[in-house]
Amino acid sequence: MRVVFMGSPEFAVPCLRALAKQHDVALVVSQPDKPAGRGSQLTAPAVKLAAIELGLPVLQPKSARTGELEQALRASGAELAVVVAYGKILPRAVLDAVPRGCINVHGSLLPKYRGAAPVQWAVIDGERETGVSIMQLDEGMDTGPVYLEHKTPIDPDETSGELMHRLAPIGADALIEALALIGEGRAVAVPQDHARATHARMLTKADGAIDFAQPVAAVASRIRGVDPWPGAQAVLREQTVKLFRAHATAGTDAAPGTVVAVDKDGAHVAGQGGVVTIREIQLPGRKRMAAQQLANDPAGDRWVRLSRDAARMFLDHAGRAK
């Protein structure tokens, strides 16, 4: 089948590679290069780099609504467009620019977690299962009918970054399966139950703020869900501290935010209904480290003394951290 591929981040690359092996990719569409890093150097999207490696033509329109994208799709001779984390809502003119329309690889089990950050919110919300849905795009936000879905459990200690990395090849397999069904005329698109829909909005930096007064399961899930971006942050004695690798356990009557122990398993911090164990941290101006390493430097000694004295680890929202 002759297709157009539309996508931008690393999550979309396995789908592009799988598609290029079995189908005729007429054109790859990606978002424009954007400034990144400390030097704000223009950086190409991962999909563009993969397309160049595969020898495929690339288009990077600034907007999906100027007519440029519609014209390119019509001129491509493609039967269908595959969209994977492209990053823009497509207007009707683009959706209708190829005979079979546009299908989407979406990182959740629709209708739950429609929107820009389905993987992250599934982890934040403590879901035990997620997956990938292959759907026909319409003008709504992930509201089109679904062809098929592939499910996978979420590991209790899995971060959103790890889960996204694991979902990417699952999405590629689901895409190839769906295209085979479409090509054979056996695909059935099932309408979503819109009453069960939830919205997975794009994360902001404020979503990384950790409040240990919340239930410990929710705290640990948020720390994992905002990893790698925007990253979990709290304030330790007026310093912003980044938190990684958290899990929740029961036990302790200590006030939320109290460091109850620091040992080989990590820093154990009291929350509502139990303890959040933080395995890795990053102090200002330092590299990420195992929490147990705090005992090997001055900052660690202070941390251990605070826990032994049952003193408070003062935690606050990232917006108040400097």
pLDDT mean over 170-193: 97
- Confidence grade of residue 296 (pLDDT, cut at 50, 70, 90): low
- Is the predicted pLDDT of residue 244 greater than 70, yes or no? yes
Query: Coil, strand or helix: which one is 168?
Result: helix
Q: What is the CATH number of the domain that holds 314?
A: 3.10.25.10
On whether both 239 and 315 belong to a single domain, the answer is yes
Per DSSP, what are the bridge partners of residue 100? none
DSSP, res 139 = S
Pick from 196, 228, 261: which residue ends a domain?
A: 196
- Confidence grade of residue 295 (pLDDT, cut at 50, 70, 90): low
**Angle of the 160-183 helix axis to the 13-22 helix axis, nearest 10:** 30
Q: What is the CATH number of the domain that holds 85?
A: 3.40.50.170
pLDDT at 253: 84
Structural domain including 314 reads 205-320
Please state, in angstroms and rounded to a whole number, the distance separating the CA atoms of residues 223 and 214: 12
pLDDT at 312: 36
On whether both 192 and 308 belong to a single domain, the answer is no
Nearest 10 degrees: CA dihedral of 69, 72, 77, 83? -30
On whether both 190 and 282 belong to a single domain, the answer is no
pLDDT of 79-111, one tens digit each?
Answer: 999 999 998 889 999 999 999 999 999 999 999
**8 Å CB contact between 98 and 4:** yes
Nearest 10 degrees: CA dihedral of 173, 146, 91, 12? -20
Please state, in angstroms and rounded to a whole number, the distance separating the CA atoms of residues 290 and 262: 11
On whether both 173 and 45 belong to a single domain, the answer is yes
Residue 130 CA: distances (Å) to CA of 21, 82, 276: 27, 21, 24
* Total number of domains constituting the chain: 2
On whether both 147 and 235 belong to a single domain, the answer is no
On whether both 209 and 184 belong to a single domain, the answer is no
On whether both 266 and 180 belong to a single domain, the answer is no
On whether both 158 and 235 belong to a single domain, the answer is no
- Is the predicted pLDDT of residue 3 greater than 80, yes or no? yes
pLDDT at 184: 95
| Range list of β-strands (E), 117-159 | 129-136, 146-153
- Is the predicted pLDDT of residue 315 greater than 60, yes or no? no
On whether both 298 and 242 belong to a single domain, the answer is yes
- Confidence grade of residue 298 (pLDDT, cut at 50, 70, 90): very low
pLDDT mean over 242-259: 89
Angle at 110 between CA 29 and CA 228, to 5 degrees: 65
Give 295 or 253, the one with higher predicted confidence: 253
Exposure class string for 48-66: b at 16+ Cβ within 10 A, else e: bebbeeeebebbebeebee
On whether both 229 and 290 belong to a single domain, the answer is yes
pLDDT mean over 178-190: 97
- Is the predicted pLDDT of residue 317 greater than 90, yes or no? no
On whether both 230 and 94 belong to a single domain, the answer is no
pLDDT of 256-283, one tens digit each?
Answer: 888 888 889 998 888 999 999 999 999 8
Please state, in angstroms and rounded to a whole number, the distance separating the CA atoms of residues 248 and 268: 9
Pick from 162, 196, 230: which residue ends a domain?
A: 196
DSSP, res 244 = E
* Mean pLDDT of the residues in the chain: 89
pLDDT at 294: 64
Pick from 196, 230, 251: which residue ends a domain?
A: 196
- Is the predicted pLDDT of residue 233 greater than 80, yes or no? yes
Angle at 162 between CA 45 and CA 225, to 5 degrees: 95
- Confidence grade of residue 297 (pLDDT, cut at 50, 70, 90): low
- Is the predicted pLDDT of residue 198 greater than 90, yes or no? yes
**All residues at 6 or more sequence positions from 55 whose CB lies less than 8 Å from its CB, including other chains:** none
pLDDT at 281: 92
On whether both 86 and 210 belong to a single domain, the answer is no
- Is the predicted pLDDT of residue 318 greater than 90, yes or no? no
Residue 234 CA: distances (Å) to CA of 12, 242, 277, 284: 32, 7, 14, 12
Please state, in angstroms and rounded to a whole number, the distance separating the CA atoms of residues 127 and 119: 10
pLDDT of 137-169, one tens digit each?
Answer: 999 999 999 999 999 999 999 999 999 999 999
- Percentage of residues of the chain with pLDDT beyond 90: 75
Q: Is the dihedral of CA 21, 52, 161, 64 positive or negative?
A: negative
Task: For 17, list phi and psi in degrees, rounded to 5.
Answer: -65, -45
pLDDT mean over 201-210: 93
Tokens 């239930």 found at = 215
Q: Kindly write down the DSSP assignment for every residue of 80-110, as one continuous string.
A: EEEEES-SSPPPHHHHTSSTT-EEEEESSST
